[in-house]
Amino acid sequence: MSYDYDLFVIGGGSGGIATARRAAEYGAKVAVAEVGQLGGTCVNRGCVPKKLMVYSSRFPDLFEESQAYGWSPVESHFDWKTFMPAVNNEVKRLNGIYQRMLDKSQVEILPHYAKFVDSHTLEVGDRKVTAEKILIAVGGKPVKPDIPGIEHAITSDQIFHLPEQPKQMLIIGAGYIGCEFACVLHGMGTEVTQILRRDTILRGFDDDIRTTIQEGMVKHGINLMTNTVPKEIKKTDQGLEVVVQHEDGDKTILTDVVGLAATGRIPNLENLGLENTKVETHNGAVAVDKYSQTSEPHIYAVGDCTDNINLTPVAISEGRALADSQFGGKSKVMSYENVPSAVFTTPEAATVGLTEAEAQEKYGDAMKVYRTKFRGMYYTLPDKDEKTMMKLIVDTNTDKVVGAHMVGEHAAEIIQGMAVALKAGATKEIFDATVGIHPSSAEEFVTMR
């Protein structure tokens, strides 16, 4: 049978674009359906604009700390209306780069939603197209808690388009998105209250990362309300009244004109027409094998819609491995072992490999932990109580380092190097034999005994 395309990609995010370009390089005829801006969550509503906000939020501390290094006091104020248009202009610039990359690769872009009619046919706008192979790369979407008045709350997707900086912000949720925005907005001068159902933020991360970041956030002035559940949001003339169930009883919190719901993300599979195929889902995500193949042999899925590891570089690697396998004659699979990640809170954190709890479960008594906590040299003159935490986890059966974790300045930059070492199977003996760069915080990773 003849098809319109060799590969049709549903979704113009990181994973979809990476797959499309790589497949086109191998000579495949490729099209991408994307009704929104190219680049997906990362470029438009995630990594890129968020990181720019992180940079901006850290200047007040730098202004203050500079005085201990001989600089005169700086008088400055933050202007949301100057900064946010600059952020959104950078996003538009990146959208254009993605457009040019796809044009150069001769990938056709269809600015419409795509929906399955059958396993080889898609309804795209007002036309129907067929494809030999189809990739689902629709990403995820934020979830709001199901409480009365939740329509008055915004999600993390909408924070970048607020016309005014909130004077007060209530953040519901203690995952990495909620924690990052709590720190960002606090740094910019917003009064931030964050509520979490449990007693510690960042469930799923290593416990030392969780407690060290939480201590830092509280120390910096973020009002963290633990063991607290939102019950209702009411819109009033004064702002939003949020009724919460706290361990001391119900309380009402008044926020500025917005409350941020950051309770997680789910695969964005609505109105995709999967019921017209044999594609199976599991826990709301597209079920795939190690080759990103669904239960329909010619339909594939990568990225957040599979709810595997929801990180941009993972989606890109999955997509490229898929294109190499299906169009390049190279059988490749994505390895999910030792995938590093970061949390851009203040203090910052990064991690690769097993947490202490995971290593304990896997290795038992053969697990050994090396841990250090100290004040970095930078903070000695400002005399600030800012802590850096570093941690290595070792399987003593093989002496391999199976986990590396850090909280502190430049954690992401440092852990990226640690990820290479873990991927290469470095042992603690190799770490110990490596000469440190002095004076630096990073040298602690090769001096822990």
- Give mean pLDDT, residues 439-448: 98
Same domain, 135 and 250: no
What is the distance between the alpha carbons of residues 421 and 424, in angstroms, rounded to a whole number? 5
Residue 187 has pLDDT above 70, yes or no: yes
Residue 382 has pLDDT above 70, yes or no: yes
Element containing residue 400 per DSSP (H, E): strand 400-407
Residue 436 maps to which CATH number? 3.30.390.30
For the chain, give the longest Cα–Cα distance. Answer: 75
Residue 410 has pLDDT above 80, yes or no: yes
How confident is the model at residue 262, as a pLDDT?
A: 63
- For residue 310, tell me if it sits in a domain: yes
Q: Look at residues 263, 290, 310 and tell me which one is the last residue of a structural domain.
A: 263
Same domain, 286 and 258: no
Same domain, 347 and 315: no
Banded model confidence at residue 264, pLDDT cuts 50, 70, 90: confident
Banded model confidence at residue 1, pLDDT cuts 50, 70, 90: confident
Residue 209 has pLDDT above 90, yes or no: yes
**Amino acid (one-letter) located at 55:** Y
- Give mean pLDDT, residues 152-167: 92
Q: Is 301 left (phi over 0), alpha (psi -120 to 50) or beta?
A: beta
| pLDDT-wise least confident of 43-47, 70-74, 117-121, 143-147 | 143-147
Whether residue 163 is preceded by a cis peptide bond, meaning omega within 30 degrees of 0, is no
- For residue 82, tell me if it sits in a domain: yes
Q: Kindly tell me the sign of the dihedral angle through the C-alpha atoms of 179, 182, 185, 186.
A: negative
- Give mean pLDDT, residues 78-104: 97
How confident is the model at residue 156, as a pLDDT?
A: 87
Residue 247 has pLDDT above 90, yes or no: no
Residue 175 has pLDDT above 90, yes or no: yes
- Give mean pLDDT, residues 161-178: 94
Same domain, 17 and 34: yes
Q: For residue range 328-355, what is the model confidence (pLDDT) as tens digits?
A: 999 999 999 999 999 999 999 999 999 9
Residue with tokens 């079920």: 287
Same domain, 13 and 114: yes
Banded model confidence at residue 257, pLDDT cuts 50, 70, 90: low
What is the distance between the alpha carbons of residues 445 and 390, in angstroms, rounded to a whole number? 7
| pLDDT-wise least confident of 93-107, 115-129, 151-165, 258-272 | 258-272
Burial class (CB in 10 A: 0-12, 13-18, 19+), 377: exposed
Same domain, 131 and 274: yes
- For residue 333, tell me if it sits in a domain: no
Q: Look at residues 263, 283, 318 and tell me which one is the last residue of a structural domain.
A: 263
- Give mean pLDDT, residues 88-109: 97
Same domain, 46 and 99: yes
Same domain, 137 and 271: yes
- Is 438 an active-site residue? yes
CA-to-CA separations, 395 to 204, 207, 210, 238, 366, in angstroms, rounded: 21, 18, 22, 56, 6
Residue 169 has pLDDT above 80, yes or no: yes
Domain that holds residue 347: 341-446
- For residue 358, tell me if it sits in a domain: yes
- For residue 351, tell me if it sits in a domain: yes
CA-to-CA separations, 79 to 66, 96, 180, in angstroms, rounded: 21, 27, 20
Residue 109 has pLDDT above 90, yes or no: yes
Residue 128 maps to which CATH number? 3.50.50.60
- Give mean pLDDT, residues 133-152: 94
Q: How many domains does one find in the chain?
A: 3
Q: Look at residues 212, 239, 263 and tell me which one is the last residue of a structural domain.
A: 263
How confident is the model at residue 261, as a pLDDT?
A: 66
**Mean of all residue pLDDT scores within the chain:** 96
Same domain, 79 and 132: yes
Contact (CB, 8 A) for 141 and 12? no
β-bridge partners, 366:
none
- For residue 179, tell me if it sits in a domain: yes
For the stretch 34-38, contacts whose Cβ atoms lie closer than 8 Å and that sit 24 or more positions apart, written own/partner, are 34/109, 34/110, 34/111, 35/111, 35/112, 35/113, 36/12, 37/91, 37/92, 37/95, 38/12, 38/95, 38/98, 38/99, 38/102, 38/109
CA-to-CA separations, 201 to 122, 213, 229, in angstroms, rounded: 42, 8, 14
- For residue 15, tell me if it sits in a domain: yes
Same domain, 274 and 413: no
What is the distance between the alpha carbons of residues 115 and 15, in angstroms, rounded to a whole number? 18
Same domain, 126 and 11: yes
CA nearest to 131, candidates 25, 14, 320, 1: 1
Burial class (CB in 10 A: 0-12, 13-18, 19+), 144: middle
Same domain, 110 and 221: no
CA 97 to chain centre: 22
How confident is the model at residue 144, as a pLDDT?
A: 87
Residue 97 has pLDDT above 80, yes or no: yes
